[in-house]
Amino acid sequence: MADEVSFTGSEASSDGNPGSAASPNATSLLQQAEATFKALDGDGDGFVTRDELRASYKSLGLDLPEAALDQLMSADTNGDGRVDLEEWLRSVEPAPQPDGQEPPFLD
């Protein structure tokens, strides 16, 4: 599993530009989601597999039941047995705001 990640609030947004149109909270959520994905991607190939999820949680002393792994792997929307970063971000994207506007999480 990858090293622990810390956030200073000055990291660039997903498009590489600091201070993009996303709100600071949305940018922070995006950064945290990307960091979590990278930490779970044990071999660094850009995909998270069921085995990597199991190993990551096991390294934290947690033995996830198959139902929990199934829920995490439900982010695999293209059915290839792996979750890529886009699928991961879509799975953790905040729900639309009550005013009907989409949250500024993903562009």
Contact 37, 56 (CB under 8 A): no
Is residue 67 in some structural domain?
Answer: yes
Is residue 56 in some structural domain?
Answer: yes
Is residue 86 in some structural domain?
Answer: yes
CA distance 56 to 74: 17
If one counts the domains in the chain, the total is 1
What are phi and psi for residue 47, nearest 5 degrees? -135, 145
Q: Which CATH number belongs to the domain containing residue 29 in this structure?
A: 1.10.238.10
Is residue 34 in some structural domain?
Answer: yes
Q: What type of residue sits at position 4? A: E
**pLDDT score at 27:** 75
pLDDT, averaged per 10 consecutive residues of the chain (107 residues), comes to 36 42 69 94 96 94 94 96 95 74 56
Is residue 18 in some structural domain?
Answer: no
**pLDDT score at 15:** 45
Domain membership of residue 84 as a residue range: 24-90
Cβ-defined contacts of 54-62 (< 8 Å, 24+): 55/1, 56/1, 59/1
Is residue 60 in some structural domain?
Answer: yes
**pLDDT score at 92:** 86
**pLDDT score at 28:** 84
**pLDDT score at 18:** 42
**pLDDT score at 7:** 30
CA distance 32 to 22: 14
Is residue 30 in some structural domain?
Answer: yes
Is residue 59 in some structural domain?
Answer: yes
**pLDDT score at 87:** 96
